[in-house]
Amino acid sequence: MDVTEFLVGCNCTSVWLLGQILQFRSKLPSIRDNILRGETLFNDNFQQTGVIAHLLAKIEMNEDRELLHNQYRDISQELHLKTDVLRKYRHKVKIMEKEISDIQSEFECERQDYLETIRKQERNNKLMSQISDKLVGTLKKECNYRYSRKV
């Protein structure tokens, strides 16, 4: 049966429907191609969104890295300042330790001088005591200077 014979026996609605089916069949390959292309477009779009998400993550990581770098720089500057202050205080401590050492050595010298003076005075007192004991023995018993210690 030919299409024209088929059309002669059909009513208008059937003819119209048949025309629609034939038209749809002719468009079917292009629709299939569009669907396949759309799938690849969807895959490409999906890949692009993945790439975009990856790039956004990198940007955020770089921003975090920059923030950490700025904090590190601030901490490094603070550490440098505190190190300088510490050096100054160490220098002051060394100067003060030297001054303390000088004062201690000066005090030790004075102490030695005082001890030497005390020893000399003790020797002089002992000598004077020995001299007075010898003189007392030579003085007459009637003399008022015989008991010099009482005097």
**What are the tens digits of pLDDT across the range 16-26?**
666 777 777 77
Q: Are 41 and 35 a contacting pair, CB within 8 Å? A: no
pTM, rounded to two decimals: 0.41
For the cut 80, the answer to whether the pLDDT of residue 9 exceeds it is: no
- In this structure, the number of other CB atoms found within 10 A of the CB of residue 132 comes to 13
Taking only the tens place, the pLDDT of each residue in 46-82 is 666 777 777 778 778 877 788 888 888 888 899 999 9
